[in-house]
Amino acid sequence: MSILGIGVDIVEIARLDASIQRQGQPFLDRCFLESEQAYCNSHREPARSYAARFAAKEAVAKALGTGFGAQLGWLDVEVRRKASGEPFIVLHGTGAETAGRLGVTEILVSLSHGELYAVANAVAIKGG
C-alpha cells in the first residue's frame, strides 16, 4: 500500500452560498448528487455543508492528480457519512474508472468548517 497523492482545498462559505443563490438548482445539480443535496439541505445552514463537500471534491481531484475534466466529473465524487459521522468518498462512473486505472483502492478524506471557511483534505491510497 502506498500514497498516490494528497489534496487539500479551502472554500469561502459566503462565496459558495452566493453561487447557490445566483445559479440555483442548476448549480447544485451540476456539482452535487441528490443524496448530497438532501444531506446538506437537512441542516440549518446548508451552505456550510455544501462548502465542505465542494472542498472535498476539489481535494479528491487534486489527490488523484486529474483535476476536473475528462477523467473526473463533479458527480463522479460522492461524499457520504458513516453511522459514526466520519465522511468517506465513493467514486462513480469515469471517476471510478480513473481510480481503477491509477490503482487507487481507497480515498481518505477529512472535512472541517467554521464560520467563514470550509476545508477538506484527501489522500488517494494505491494498492491493497
Q: Which domains does the chain have, with CATH numbers?
A: 2-126 (3.90.470.20)
At residue 1, the pLDDT reads: 87
Q: Chain-wide mean pLDDT for the chain?
A: 96
Q: List, in order, residues 6 or more apart from 51 with CB less than 8 Å away.
A: 11, 12, 13, 16, 17, 113, 117, 118
Give the tens place of pLDDT for each residue, 61-109. 999 999 999 999 999 999 999 999 999 999 999 999 999 999 999 999 9
121 grid coordinates: 483534505
Give yes or no for residue 125 having a pLDDT over 90: yes
Neighbouring CB atoms inside 10 A of 114's CB total 9
Question: What is this structure's pTM?
Answer: 0.96
Give yes or no for residue 8 having a pLDDT over 90: yes
Phi then psi for 127, rounded to 5 degrees?
85, 180
At residue 127, the pLDDT reads: 84
Mean pLDDT across the stretch 16-32?
Answer: 97
Q: Which residues pair with 11 in a beta bridge?
A: 118
At residue 128, the pLDDT reads: 64
Question: Where in the sequence numbering do the catalytic residues fall?
Answer: 62, 113
Give the tens place of pLDDT for each residue, 35-51. 999 999 999 999 999 99
